[in-house]
């Protein structure tokens, strides 16, 4: 399509249509449905199983990395799985069930090679709170394992549906500081709840609010018993081994790999040593009921004891209904955050929808094995990544380690001290607390998001995890809505940049924001546009939440800085609008008129649309209202120029509102989104008559009107793009401009025309 440019002296108005072409609804439908439906269905089916895209290329080098990583994670996931089951107030074997199913199923659906699915601390704590809630509201009806497996099935089914419907983009509404806030608060909650078990302190509810648990723990320190002899050394040993290996790996970088795997084995090493110590101490001290002088795990059933179809009690589902949102949010929020993080670190991209499918299938199938809700684990994923994992197939090797432990090591689990498991939990969960450096980065980037982070932490500590995550998420959404509803925008002025170097001399104008004093830098001189022209840059999409705000900004600026076209002193009081105060009191009317006369006459408004990606009907109606208000104030038509429109749909919407055509405003629609189809008033009729009279005298090359001299044939040429529904779209849009400089030059070229016409 040829360029529709018009040269007027030294200025160019118009728009190269091949850059932003006219688009119709027919074009849109053809783009949406251009794919072969059979091929689309086949691609969708293949995308559900990412393993088929890489398993045929599997090789020995990949196997080596997966073998090391799978075995390494397996050694860690066994003690962690049992520990996290205790947080969930479930028998420890349920943690092993969740660990086995999580790592086994995930590898078939994963788009992340690093993530390890299984029981995690935050989800385990949430499960314990849900079990407590159900048992308090329905005492004696359901046991904890049934509640947990039912929760796993329902939440997994919900997340699976979200993934299949490709609604993973919903996760993007929750920013990183909100996630970090509730994770930090949850980690503090878990650590505080495990300290009493570490020290052997009893006599209060460790599931209460975090601050209450901390206070009661401090009060109960004198009641510390023999369990601390197993708990405190375990915690000290875990940190000592990790810190020692980190120090040695820095001192001897060539042996860093050896020290890394030594550090990884610390969980198994401490657990084995403390289990042996527990066995040596308690084997001859069991009472008649088999109770030991310290708290130990006791009997752990061997193998998969609960493989069956999940028993879904409808009454239990009703009891869980109020708790499903928080469990579902935590289930996919933590997993997506972790998978995205490791994808960025290791240079690959994850598919959020497929990841939701993965954890949905994992939890749905897991409920058949007695598993409770499982999701991505940060600590095990980091360990898996550092171990050199190459593909998601490493999860199968981890599953082998877990199933071997379930069938072969359960007799030894009998002697594991609970205090040692508490030490393992504290050591693992403490890494989830945000570091001071990370918190400071939130403050540097966005103080408001730092406040959201802090609110999430404090509410979690002083209330519940549920309240903390809701607070962080709702606060983030409110901040997003505020930013959309009150977008930043700037009135612009010019700065002349000169480049004078040997062999290169260049001058060009750039547009920068103006402050009240017209200066943003003492070394720069910002020149406002010609009197009567205002240039405004919008920095958000132009939509119904913010269009009223933008209308107020433009109208208020014009009323404060531009001359009022009608002299109200000549109009009788009874003919004025009730809310128009007029020129002021009698004593001040003269000075007010003189002050008004000093202001420039409004000629044109230039809007920079370079940051606009979407507009809607309400926004176009608001822009029409802005045009009407400004023309009432100026008492003559006002040009609206638009620069850098990047979307053909935005161009189409503006044309529908009567913008960009250079036509008389009398022919433009006064309402495009009428709620009540009523419009009347003497002022509107007078302004319409004025527009029509002035339009007859204007030439299309110099202003805002198509004169009567343009015959009907020319008008038909201007509208030659057929829409799907039989409408036509204008191709000639002289008030749409490629760049801001061209728009401003076009607007400034007609400054002073109205004064000269009125003078003549």
For residue 475, give the nearest of 457, 502, 492 by alpha carbon. 457
The whole-number pLDDT of residue 206 equals: 86
Inter-CA distances, 584 with 563, 591, 596, 683, Å: 15, 9, 12, 21
The whole-number pLDDT of residue 378 equals: 86
Report residue 121 as tokens: 């601390």
The whole-number pLDDT of residue 159 equals: 94
431 vs 576: which has the higher pLDDT: 431
Over residues 290-309, mean pLDDT: 88
Asked if 362 and 106 touch (Cβ cutoff 8 Å), the reply is: yes
Asked if 690 and 636 touch (Cβ cutoff 8 Å), the reply is: yes
Asked if 97 and 366 touch (Cβ cutoff 8 Å), the reply is: yes
The whole-number pLDDT of residue 699 equals: 40
The whole-number pLDDT of residue 290 equals: 72
The whole-number pLDDT of residue 757 equals: 62
Neighbouring C-beta atoms of residue 510, cutoff 10 Å: 12
How large a percentage of the chain has pLDDT more than 90? 42
Over residues 597-609, mean pLDDT: 90
DSSP state of 568: G
| CB neighbour list of residue 397: distance below 8 Å, 6 or more residues apart | 66, 67, 69, 70, 71, 74
Over residues 88-104, mean pLDDT: 94
How far, in whole angstroms, is CA 580 from its chain's centroid?
Answer: 45
Neighbouring C-beta atoms of residue 182, cutoff 10 Å: 31
CA–CA separation, 10 and 748 (whole Å): 12
Segments in 200-265 forming alpha helices (H):
210-219, 228-251, 256-264
Report residue 242 as tokens: 């990790």
The whole-number pLDDT of residue 29 equals: 62
pLDDT tens, position by position, 172-215:
888 888 888 988 999 999 999 999 999 999 888 888 889 999 99
pLDDT range class, residue 581, cuts 50, 70, 90:
low
User: Is pLDDT at 150 greater than 80 in this prediction?
Assistant: yes
How far, in whole angstroms, is CA 292 from its chain's centroid?
Answer: 51
User: Is pLDDT at 667 greater than 80 in this prediction?
Assistant: no
Asked if 44 and 369 touch (Cβ cutoff 8 Å), the reply is: no
CA–CA separation, 667 and 670 (whole Å): 9
Rounded to two decimals, what is the model's pTM? 0.78
758 three-state secondary structure: helix
Inter-CA distances, 93 with 62, 401, 406, Å: 32, 14, 8
pLDDT tens, position by position, 232-275:
999 999 999 999 999 999 999 999 989 998 998 898 899 999 99
The whole-number pLDDT of residue 564 equals: 87
The whole-number pLDDT of residue 509 equals: 80
The whole-number pLDDT of residue 486 equals: 86
User: Is pLDDT at 698 greater than 50 in this prediction?
Assistant: no
How large a percentage of the chain has pLDDT more than 70? 81
Neighbouring C-beta atoms of residue 273, cutoff 10 Å: 14
pLDDT range class, residue 1, cuts 50, 70, 90:
very low
Reduced 3-state DSSP string for 484-535: HHCCCEEEEEEEEEEEEECCEEEEEEEEEECCCCCCCCCCCCCECCCCCEEE
For residue 374, give the nearest of 77, 69, 166, 129 by alpha carbon. 77
CA–CA separation, 103 and 117 (whole Å): 6
How far, in whole angstroms, is CA 358 from its chain's centroid?
Answer: 21
């Amino acid at each position: 399509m040829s360029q529709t440019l018009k040269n007027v002296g030294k200025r160019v108005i118009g728009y190269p249509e091949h850059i932003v072409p006219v688009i119709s609804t027919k074009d849109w439908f053809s783009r949406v449905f251009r794919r072969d439906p059979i091929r689309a269905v086949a691609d969708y089916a293949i995308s559900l199983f990412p393993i088929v895209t890489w398993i045929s290329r599997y090789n020995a080098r990949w196997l080596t990395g997966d073998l090391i990583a799978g075995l390494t994670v397996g050694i860690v996931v066994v003690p962690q799985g049992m520990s996290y089951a205790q947080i969930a107030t479930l028998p420890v074997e349920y943690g092993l069930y969740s660990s086995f199913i999580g790592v086994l199923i995930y590898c078939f659906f994963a788009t992340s090679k690093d993530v390890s699915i299984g029981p995690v601390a935050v989800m385990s704590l949430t499960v314990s709170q849900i079990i407590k809630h159900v048992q308090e509201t329905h005492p004696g009806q359901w046991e904890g394992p049934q509640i947990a497996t039912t929760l796993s099935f329902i939440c997994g089914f919900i997340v699976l549906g979200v993934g299949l419907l490709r609604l993973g983009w919903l996760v993007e509404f929750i920013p990183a500081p909100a996630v970090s806030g509730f994770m930090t608060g949850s980690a503090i909650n878990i650590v505080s709840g495990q300290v009493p078990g570490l020290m052997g302190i009893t006599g209060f509810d460790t599931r209460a609010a975090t601050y209450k648990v901390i206070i009661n723990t401090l009060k109960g320190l004198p009641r510390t018993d023999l369990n601390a002899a197993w708990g405190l050394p375990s915690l000290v040993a875990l940190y000592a081994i990790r810190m020692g290996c980190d120090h040695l790996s820095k001192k001897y970088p060539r042996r860093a790999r050896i020290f890394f795997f030594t550090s990884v084995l610390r969980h198994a090493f401490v657990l084995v040593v403390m289990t042996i110590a527990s066995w040596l101490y308690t084997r001859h001290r069991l009472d008649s009921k088999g109770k030991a002088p310290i708290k130990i795990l006791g009997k752990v059933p061997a193998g998969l004891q609960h493989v069956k179809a999940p028993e879904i009690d409808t009454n239990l589902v009703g009891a869980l209904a109020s708790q499903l949102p928080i469990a579902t949010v935590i289930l996919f929020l933590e997993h997506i955050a972790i998978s995205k993080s490791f994808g960025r670190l290791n240079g690959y991209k994850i598919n959020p929808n497929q990841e939701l499918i993965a954890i949905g299938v994992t939890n749905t199938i897991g409920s058949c094995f007695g598993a409770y809700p499982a999701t991505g684990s940060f600590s095990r994923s980091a360990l898996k990544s550092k171990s050199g994992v190459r593909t998601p197939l490493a999860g199968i090797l981890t599953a082998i380690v877990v199933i071997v432990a379930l069938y072969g090591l359960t007799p030894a689990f009998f002697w594991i001290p609970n205090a040692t498991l508490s030490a393992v939990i504290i050591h693992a969960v403490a890494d989830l607390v945000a570091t001071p450096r990370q918190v400071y980065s939130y403050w540097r980037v966005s103080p408001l998001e730092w406040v959201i982070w802090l609110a999430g932490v404090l509410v979690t500590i002083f209330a519940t995890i549920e309240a903390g995550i809701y607070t962080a998420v709702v606060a983030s959404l409110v901040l997003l809505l505020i930013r959309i509803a009150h977008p930043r925008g700037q009135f612009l002025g010019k700065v002349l940049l000169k480049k004078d170097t040997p062999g290169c001399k260049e001058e060009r104008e750039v547009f920068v924001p103006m402050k009240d004093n017209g200066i943003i830098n003492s070394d720069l001189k910002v020149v406002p546009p010609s009197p009567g022209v205002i240039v405004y840059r919008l920095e958000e999409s132009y939509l119904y939440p913010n269009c009223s705000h933008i209308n107020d900004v433009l109208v208020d600026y014009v009323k404060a800085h531009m001359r009022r076209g009608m002299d109200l002193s000549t109009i009788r009081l009874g003919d004025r609008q009730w809310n128009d105060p007029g020129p002021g009191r009698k004593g001040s009317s003269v000075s007010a008129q003189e002050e008004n006369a000093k202001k420039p006459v409004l000629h044109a408004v230039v809007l920079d649309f370079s940051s606009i990606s979407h507009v809607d009907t309400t926004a176009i109606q608001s822009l029409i209202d802005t045009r009407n208000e400004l023309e009432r104030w100026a008492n003559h038509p006002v040009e609206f120029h638009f620069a850098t429109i990047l979307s053909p749909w935005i161009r189409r919407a503006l044309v529908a509102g009567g913008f960009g055509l250079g036509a008389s405003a009398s022919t433009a629609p006064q309402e495009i989104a009428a709620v009540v189809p009523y419009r009347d008033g003497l002022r509107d009729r007078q302004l319409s008559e004025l527009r029509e009279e002035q339009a007859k005298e204007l030439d299309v090359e110099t202003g805002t009107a198509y004169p009567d001299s343009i015959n009907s044939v020319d008008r038909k040429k201007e509208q030659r793009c057929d829409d799907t529904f039989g409408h036509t779209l204008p191709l000639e849009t002289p008030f749409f401009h490629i760049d801001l400089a061209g728009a401003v030059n076009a607007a400034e070229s007609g400054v002073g025309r109205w004064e000269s016409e009125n003078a003549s």
